[in-house]
Chains A and B, each alone.
Chain A
Amino acid sequence: MTTTYEAPGSASAPGGPDAVTAVVAADFETDEYEADFGGEAPTRIPSSEGVEIGPRRGVRSATLDERFNIVGSLAGGMALATLLFGWISPLTGVVGWFVVAYLAFIGFYMLLVSMRSDFQEVKDRVATVLMVSAGVMLFGALVFIVVYTLIRGSEALPYVNFFTQTMELTGPLDPLSSGGILHAIVGTLIQISIALAITVPLGIATAVFLNEVGGRFARFVRTIADAMTALPSIVAGLFVYAAIIQLFTHQRSGFAAALAITVMMLPIVIRASDVVLRLVPGNLREASYALGTTRWRTVWHVVLPTARSGLVTAVILGTARGIGETSPVLLTSGITAVMNVNPFEGPMISLPLQVFDFVRSPEPTMIARGFGTAAVLILLVLGLFIVARVIGGRGPGQLSDRQRRNAQAESLRDLQRITMLDDRIYAGDYPPARATQNIVSTAPKPSDPEETSL
């Protein structure tokens, strides 16, 4: 890499090994440089041979000084808050302590940074701290909410009957060793299955329409689907109540609840699939068209398989959202304590609605059951989410190892087939006599559907 230029006539610099120049030389586009000077570089770049280059320095990590600033002001902030709350002023409450400690931390930190740096740097440091603390607060809240629910729910979860019984024979005063949420689990599974059976084909077909067919109407559909994402869930429930229950079924049922969930899930699936399909590289489509395929075959054999993992992720995320919907279900499914496996008749409760029903009771055991049900719900959503991440970790067109092996094997088979076909053509026994006649006959009638569809 380090080419040495011997410039004749020019006074060569003393060739003392210089670490800095050696580093510069490593990044140097020697060809361009040479071209600028007509093939003659005016300076001699010393060889880096024998020069020890020290270990690479981390430029991202904070300096010791910087770390002390953070730690010191954190300690100071907490100490001040404790002092204020413990001795000096009559402040109480955990949240208040955090607020005071945080404000004091920011103040101390500004002070500490300003001792060594100018105003611009103080602003930069404080802004970074504010961003990080916003993130910490948000993710802390998320973790706290999830963990709080799981811990409160752990009271009911160890009982096996919680998963194997219904609430049919259990009153509000019965202990946790009686009654369970099997009926709600079954209800959720039935409702989400019906919703998925409608949402997946409809949602993905709509996303395909937006991306592969296009046109003015597709833009309109996209706008409407966007607007639908913000549809208040209670309005979706109200709509199904007015359109399905009052007009047709005249009773609350699992099917009506599934329809309400569908209305909520559909725009989520459409938007997520739309984004995924948009990421499918255009040259794949063009390659397919260039091979003479129709739109339908391009979509079915190129676009959808390429986007498969993303589409699965979209559907799973939609499912995770749909499972947790409470308010549309509240209006449409009805509340029951017994098992009902017929979605078309009678009330059928689902997990979120069961939580809602449990915690309306003032009894501690019922509230414990409510938290237990919520914990099951959260674990379900979490599980779906992890599955979605595992599947959807790859971008469109990136294959897993097994898929890559399969693709390789398939193209090998194709190669064999084609070469064998080649041999047969060369040997003269392909195509058969019928086929030659067919080629001639295509010319006068080009609208033969068999010919155009491939």
Chain B
Amino acid sequence: MTEKDVFQTIDDVFLENERTELLAPVGGDGGDGGTDAPRKRSLQSRRSRSDTVFQTVAFAAGATTVGIMLAVGLFLSIRAGSALQVAGISFLFTQEWSPETGHFGIAAVLFGTVTIAIIALCVGFPLALGTALLLSEVVRGRVRSFLVSLVDLMAAVPSIVFGLWGVFFLQAAIVPVAEWISTYFGWIPFFAVTGDDGARLTEASAFTSSAFIAGIVVGLMVVPTQASVMREAFSQAPIGEREGAFALGATRWGMIATVVLPFGRGGIIGGTMLGLGRALGETIAVYMIISPLFSINWQVLKTGTNSVSALIALRYGEASEFGLSALMAAGLVLFLITLVVNFTASSIVARSRSGAESL
């Protein structure tokens, strides 16, 4: 059983350095009269066989996890290659999707994805912030732990259930609201609902499958993610600063505004972006609600939008080999976008004062 020169932790490296520095002269001239210090013992522990096996297995598990993630990126890139070679840079700027004719791109679906995600954030952010503050500042004790587990439960409700609710309840219930907004705020270009000739549309079918409705449903789905990250950050606000604010005569809101919110800023931004990442990737609920459209639709209240994930769910069945490659390319773009959003979010949370421990 020989010593291994593999350093598993930084401590091992330090120990090894210490050992070589301290032991070398002692070992070299042990009989020298100048050094009467006792022979330094090595603190390096010798790894037993079971430990070696354990560390190898644990290392292999970690490596497998990384391997799966890398494989996802690798396979998507390889399979997307042939489609991207044909389409080139125009893949990002073409609105149609017909790989059979070689004319395809993700401009429209990407636009739809981003619109739905932004609407989802507009719906989800206030709800998440309010709920997180409620859970960390207002309710206490048993009620709090019950509500916290309700938030967790909401994160586990399958997206198909949200989709069902959106299709069979929300579409009918929200149409009057959408009509009202388009009537009174139609002068804002986003909220107008006009036909091809520019005339205002009023029939209900013009409103039923819009980005607005999909955004509301997705917004509800991302709230738990956002709220739990925010609550985590808020609950770490130091008690001394809270009490300081109260001692200066602040009301509870005054304390929240001056202590909790600045402290949890990283959590707010990071949690929101984590929610954004989920909103971008949501598939089934969006797919059930929208009616797919392959052109950019600026009018968010009007029926017809699309998203990258809905496109994949819509077209994977009928896709040829090349069509599938084009879908892979779309999936790759979605993957990269969520990756960037998520990494940014994680690093914001980790760098903030509140988030050093939470992520």
Would B159 and A124 count as touching, CB distance under 8 A? no
With A228-B69, A234-B331 in contact, do A210 and B62 touch (Cβ < 8 Å)?
yes
State the Cβ distance, B315 to closest chain A Cβ, in Å: 11
Give Cα A326–Cα B160 distance, bound, in whole angstroms: 7
> Which of A93, A225, A325, A446 is close to B158, meaning CB atoms less than 8 Å apart?
A325
Is B101's beta carbon under 8 Å from chain A? Answer: no
Give Cα A137–Cα B124 distance, bound, in whole angstroms: 11
Would A127 and B253 count as touching, CB distance under 8 A? yes
Residues facing A in B290-349 (CB within 8 A) are 309, 312-313, 316, 324, 327-328, 331, 334-335, 338-339, 341-343, 346
User: Which residues of chain A are within 8 angstroms of B153 by Cβ–Cβ distance?
Assistant: 142, 381-382, 385
User: Which residues of chain A are within 8 angstroms of B61 by Cβ–Cβ distance?
Assistant: 201-202, 205-206, 208-209
User: Which residues of chain A are within 8 angstroms of B68 by Cβ–Cβ distance?
Assistant: 228, 263, 266
Would B252 and A128 count as touching, CB distance under 8 A? yes
Residue-wise interface mask of A (92-104) relative to B, using a CB-CB cutoff of 8 A (1 in contact, 0 not): 1111100100000
Our count of residue pairs bridging A and B at CB distance below 8 angstroms stands at 299
Would A213 and B177 count as touching, CB distance under 8 A? no
Give Cα A146–Cα B158 distance, bound, in whole angstroms: 10
Give Cα A90–Cα B189 distance, bound, in whole angstroms: 24
User: Which residues of chain A are within 8 angstroms of B341 by Cβ–Cβ distance?
Assistant: 230
State the Cβ distance, B224 to closest chain A Cβ, in Å: 8
Is B85's beta carbon under 8 Å from chain A? Answer: no
> Which of B135, B157, B278, B327 is close to A142, meaning CB atoms less than 8 Å apart?
B157
User: Which residues of chain A are within 8 angstroms of B174 by Cβ–Cβ distance?
Assistant: 95
Residues facing A in B107-161 (CB within 8 A) are 126-127, 129-131, 133-135, 137-138, 147, 149-161
Would B338 and A230 count as touching, CB distance under 8 A? yes
Is B193's beta carbon under 8 Å from chain A? Answer: no
Would A149 and B164 count as touching, CB distance under 8 A? yes
The segment from B16-24, B27-35, B46-54 found at the interface with A is B46-54
Would B134 and A134 count as touching, CB distance under 8 A? yes
Would A238 and B328 count as touching, CB distance under 8 A? yes
State the Cβ distance, B218 to closest chain A Cβ, in Å: 12
Residue in chain A with minimal CB distance to B335: A235
Give Cα A214–Cα B131 distance, bound, in whole angstroms: 35
Would A217 and B281 count as touching, CB distance under 8 A? no
Number of B residues contacting the other chain (C-beta, 8 Å)?
102
Identify whether the interface residues of B are mostly helix, strand, loop, or mixed.
helix
State the Cβ distance, B166 to closest chain A Cβ, in Å: 9
Would A356 and B160 count as touching, CB distance under 8 A? yes
User: Which residues of chain B are within 8 angstroms of A141 by Cβ–Cβ distance?
Assistant: 220
Is B353's beta carbon under 8 Å from chain A? Answer: no
Residue in chain B with minimal CB distance to A238: B331
Would B160 and A355 count as touching, CB distance under 8 A? yes
With A210-B62, A243-B75, A381-B158 in contact, do A231 and B253 touch (Cβ < 8 Å)?
no
User: Which residues of chain B are within 8 angstroms of A148 by Cβ–Cβ distance?
Assistant: 165, 169
Give Cα A226–Cα B339 distance, bound, in whole angstroms: 10
Would B256 and A127 count as touching, CB distance under 8 A? yes
Give Cα A324–Cα B160 distance, bound, in whole angstroms: 8
Give Cα A236–Cα B338 distance, bound, in whole angstroms: 13
State the Cβ distance, A205 to closest chain B Cβ, in Å: 3
Residue-wise interface mask of A (116-153) relative to B, using a CB-CB cutoff of 8 A (1 in contact, 0 not): 00001101100110111111011101101110110010
Is B242's beta carbon under 8 Å from chain A? Answer: no
With A206-B61, A385-B156 in contact, do A215 and B76 touch (Cβ < 8 Å)?
no
Would A230 and B138 count as touching, CB distance under 8 A? no
Is B239's beta carbon under 8 Å from chain A? Answer: no
With A96-B180, A235-B334 in contact, do A330 and B339 touch (Cβ < 8 Å)?
no
Give 12 pairs: A residue, B residue, CB < 8 Å, sorted on A. Answer: A93-B177, A131-B134, A209-B59, A213-B58, A220-B66, A232-B335, A233-B281, A294-B51, A324-B156, A377-B158, A449-B1, A452-B48
Known: A137-B127, A241-B316. 20 other contacts (CB 8 A): A93-B180, A124-B252, A127-B252, A135-B131, A135-B134, A139-B150, A146-B157, A205-B62, A214-B8, A227-B342, A233-B309, A234-B283, A235-B76, A297-B50, A324-B156, A327-B159, A331-B313, A356-B288, A381-B153, A447-B46
- B: which residues have CB within 8 A of A? 1, 7-10, 46-51, 53-55, 57-66, 68-69, 71-72, 75-76, 79, 126-127, 129-131, 133-135, 137-138, 147, 149-162, 164-165, 167-169, 173-177, 180, 220, 223, 227, 251-254, 256, 274, 277-278, 280-284, 287-288, 309, 312-313, 316, 324, 327-328, 331, 334-335, 338-339, 341-343, 346, 359
The 6 closest A-B pairs by CB, nearest first: A134-B130, A324-B158, A232-B281, A93-B176, A205-B61, A124-B251
